[in-house]
Amino acid sequence: MSTKVVQALYNDDDILMDAVKKVKAEHHHIEEIYCPFPVHGLDKAMGLAPTRIAITSFMYGCLGLTVAIVMMNFIMIQDWPQDIGGKPSFSYLQNMPAFVPVMFEMTVFFAAHLMVITFYMRSKLWPFKKAENPDVRTTDDHFLMEVAVHGNEDEVTALLEGTGAVEVKISEKH
């Protein structure tokens, strides 16, 4: 389904932040904002929900810790016990202090790699994916805000022109 959006182009992030606050105060829905760099506080100004990537990172870290414990118990205790430096290999608990670095590294490894994969899947950034930004200037030095319109193009256009946009146009959102 294709809908119309008003695209406003800004050349300063402070002007963009003020514009977002004015648009939200007028109760218009902001579809998307394209920025060349992260703008601090933009997510809160847009009213976006907080991210849950930290929760998934914790779960991935727990998975890495579990894999490390099971792997070391099987390799070093059950499958091929070895006498390394006179240390007994009768139980996992007797050798656990030597296994702490491996447990830490596997926890970090799993959390970092799986979190990156999750981020790319959630944001739909596949290899060889075509760029979706509507204006190439948003990758250099401009900011673009798309506001949904439902028969009120003139009102939204006038509002965005009054917020300091350098260019305002109406286009189709796919």
Q: In the CATH scheme, what is the homologous superfamily, with its name and number, of domain 3-49+133-173?
A: ACT domain (3.30.70.260)
Average pLDDT over residues 134-141: 88
| Contacts (Cβ under 8 Å, ≥6 apart) of 119 | 53, 125
| Contacts (Cβ under 8 Å, ≥6 apart) of 89 | 76, 77, 81, 82, 83, 95
Residue % of the chain over a pLDDT of 90: 48
Matching residue, tokens 């009054």: 162
Average pLDDT over residues 151-168: 89
| 72 has a pLDDT exceeding 50 | yes
Per-residue confidence (pLDDT) for residue 174, from 0 to 100 = 61
Residues in the chain: 174
Report the chain's mean pLDDT, rounded to a whole number: 88
| 169 has a pLDDT exceeding 60 | yes
pTM of full prediction above 0.75: no
| Coil, strand or helix at 144 | strand
CA distance 150 to 152: 6
| 90 has a pLDDT exceeding 80 | no
Per-residue confidence (pLDDT) for residue 1, from 0 to 100 = 44
Where are any strands of DSSP class E within 27-158?
30-34, 143-148
